[in-house]
Structure 1
């Protein structure tokens, strides 16, 4: 198993404690085995358990170790791709269904939060897609027009209105999407896990999948220090599946380009300062080629993120860029320091849309969230639960073969190096 150095992650510092779990030992049987304890796997486990199906999650590290504990915490509707581009790729019927399912994704997230009493700093006041320059403003207007045709409550804001809602300087406008919001992502993942356990699911952590063998109509999985036998298997590892060397069903990661993304969180800001930054607590990201994001948390910390990995060579460049950006965006901020910083990996597909695979008999996966993991992960988890219990049309994607991207490693390296180079020069003047 690959190892990573620990970084001071704000979500780990402020999330409620995870439910008590431990490694798998001995030989267990289940109806459905779920590989991965993130949003998709935990949503699948919860919905299966609520249907009376025995579901068992095995997670190589801890609940929310991957993207579920590292992302920005924006609960966005739809995908990054514009609606009309999505329909052009998938067709009117399939594309329209996917847009409807994911457009309602935030509602599912916030319904689960309310129903299960998940403490995750949930705020549903929308998100802001900030326009960078004239091209960014054109993009925002196109997105508004396309979503409004579908009845979505979105609004293109002028530069003045965008400044009023964000407090940020220098943007040409913004798209306000009232379907969306923010959460503390690791707290949400842990809350899903607790709800799934309460409903009757089982979760085992520090339990990497080692081997899988088909025996008749069931699968026998060797995981950690035990075995798990199940009729159905759900692979819900997304971009983190490649971390377990030699594990079964890693081939799907070969079609995902890893886009690294980092975040820095400040110390809690004084009320008079924090009150002028995203006063209604929307989360925000921009249309820049090298995207940046910013949001506030419950403790008045400003969280700033962008593309890049915080390795030994790049961390200093990204930290300096983050500090310059915060001062440029919010000139009134005064003195601040970064108390937390962490990074993660986003799984990007060539068309920026998720994919569904049947990896083997009764083995299904959905991956490629392209930076939209919270709502789509929750939606696809529920859909997978319905799929394995007999609803063949439950997943709003057509099955497709794995198509490895031969350029994925080169593209990942380019994103990492390119972001570092751009951050070295950006916002110095």
Structure 2
């Protein structure tokens, strides 16, 4: 039997589906934070957030749960591409963004644990290249952020490592749930399972059928932005799996490897392991969820031969998330049409900089209604 979609009633059109003052596409950390900060600034304005998923669709609840500013090998690789000033500005943005996140959400509401971060090395030459820069980078960070001795060389599980003392781990799902509870208390309306299929001027089309005309819009869909606006952000798929409990599991904290392309952490006695995108970069430049078997095999080999967990470990669950990448890793905040703003390209650092990007967007929105 063919299912027919009922016409909206007068009451639905007048109250439930009326066009808001601000319409935000994307309910992840950027979109939800835009709604929160905007509502704090303009409490009488009507705000709606729409997302195509049952939960935020891209990466905000599909990441590894790292509250980090990055590893030294990542910073050094980025300096070669973007220059020192850009990279240290980026680190400062990440640090200030994490402080804003923790202040806004509260550590207890996202299970924040101050683990410290560890970058492990299997190549002595690469370790020396990175560790030789510790003193210089520490001095710059002390001068800019008043943080002393952020990085230090040590050993972990027999490997040379560079520890970052200011990093931690969070529960991404709980963080986003609490953020959305804050939106509900602030009077923000959320439309879940509601894809926005096109945006033009002050018109947004939902589900290819229903149209609204908000006074202002923010497109906060990160890796999916190319479907709605022309800005230079490419999608990037990230893969993660979690094992069943591993006997005598000794890796405790958050860890990076290979310029941050591989990342892992403990969840009690289980291993969460993800990344490996550099092993199949072209295939992973996609906005389609799924598993790349080449990357999965690479990570399994990494778990067995680098982390040395028992080879009979079992994967409990696996998933992917879609990030948005820019050429220089800098987020893009741009008015693509009058009163239509895009905020995307967080380049894998949504937890660290998402709220700060949202604050920047809100500061640019006009108050004309």
Tell me the TM-score range normalised by the shorter chain: 0.7 to 0.9
Structure 1 gaps, min length 5: 1-24, 391-429
Give the TM-score taking structure 2 as reference length: 0.78
* Shift in Å, 1:381: 1.3
The answer for the alignment partner of 1:162 in structure 2 is 155
Q: How does 1:99-248 map to 2 (within 5 A)?
A: 99-114=91-106, 118=109, 120-133=110-123, 134-142=125-133, 145-151=136-142, 152-158=147-153, 161-163=154-156, 167=157, 169=158, 171-178=159-166, 180-214=167-201, 219-224=202-207, 226-242=210-226, 247-248=227-228
Q: Identify the match of residue 43 of structure 1 among 33, 57, 75.
A: 33
Q: Against the structure 1 CA distance between its residues 306 and 126, is the aligned structure 2 distance closer, same or farther, given a 3 Å change threshold?
A: same
Q: 1:374 aligns with which of 331, 351, 357?
A: 351
Cα 1:123/1:45, change in 2 over 3 Å: same
**Secondary structure in 1 matching 2:327:** coil
User: Offset of 1:62 from its aligned partner?
Assistant: 2.8
Shift of 1:370: 1.7
Listed one character per residue, the Cα deviations across residues 80-103 of structure 1 (whole Å, up to 9, x for unaligned) are 9639967995896x8876553332
Distance in 1, Cα, partners of 2:160 & 2:275:
19
Relative to the length of structure 1, the TM-score reads 0.68
Query: Quick one: structure 1 residues 257 and 311, their matched pair in 2 at CA, closer, same or farther if it must change by over 3 Å?
Result: closer
Deviation of residue 201 (structure 1)? Answer: 1.1
Cα distance, 1:366–1:83 mapped onto 2, change above 3 Å: farther
Query: Aligned-pair distance for 1:173?
Result: 2.1
Aligned pair count reads 335
Q: Does structure 1 retain, via aligned residues, the 8 Å contact 2:58–2:323? A: no
1:68 is displaced (CA, Å) by: 1.1
The alignment partner of 1:68 has SS state of coil
| Counterparts of 1:352 and 1:110, CA distance in 2 | 23
Q: Aligned in 2, Cα 1:62/1:385: closer, same or farther, shift over 3 Å?
A: farther
2:114 aligned counterpart, secondary structure = coil
**For the residues of structure 2 that align with 1:102 and 1:304, how far apart are their CA atoms?**
22
Are the structure 2 counterparts of residues 318 and 89 from structure 1 closer, same or farther at C-alpha, using a change threshold of 3 Å? closer
Alignment CA distance shift 1:209-1:259 (3 Å) = closer
Alignment of 1:291 with 2:286, yes or no, is no
Tell me the secondary structure at the aligned position of residue 379 of structure 1.
helix
Q: In the TM superposition, what is the alpha-carbon distance from 1:352 to its structure 2 partner? A: 2.4
Task: Name the counterpart of 2:298.
Answer: 321
Q: Please say if residues 94 and 353 of structure 2, whose CA atoms lie closer than 8 Å, have aligned partners that are also in contact.
A: yes
> CA 1:28/1:323 → structure 2, altered by over 3 Å: closer, same or farther?
same
Is 1:304–2:273 an aligned residue pair? Answer: yes
Instruction: Please list the CA deviations of residues 317-352 of structure 1 after superposition, one character each: whole Å capped at 9, or x if unmatched.
Output: 444433332222333657421101112233222222
Alpha-carbon displacement from aligned partner over 1:228-282 (angstroms, at most 9, x marks no partner)? 332221110111234xxxx532x22xx2333332111111334xx23x211xxx3
2:326 paired with 1:339: no
CA distance in 1, matches of 2:335, 2:179: 25
* C-alpha distance after superposition, 1:270-325 (max 9, x if no partner): 4xx23x211xxx3111135x82111012x43211112246988842x444433332
Deviation, 1:32, is 1.4
Q: Deviations over 1:390-417 (max 9, x none)?
A: 6xxxxxxxxxxxxxxxxxxxxxxxxxxx
CA distance, structure 2, for counterparts of residue 97 and residue 332 of structure 1: 38
Q: 1:82 aligns with which of 75, 80, 86?
A: 75
Q: In 2, distance between residues paired with 1:162 and 1:199? A: 47
Kept in 1: contact 2:225–2:344 (CA 8 A):
no
Matched, 1:58 2:38: no
- Which residues of structure 2 form unaligned runs of 5+? 1-11, 278-283
The 1:198–1:135 alpha-carbon spacing in structure 2 relative to 1, beyond 3 Å, is same
- Partner Cα distance (1:362, 1:314) in 2: 39
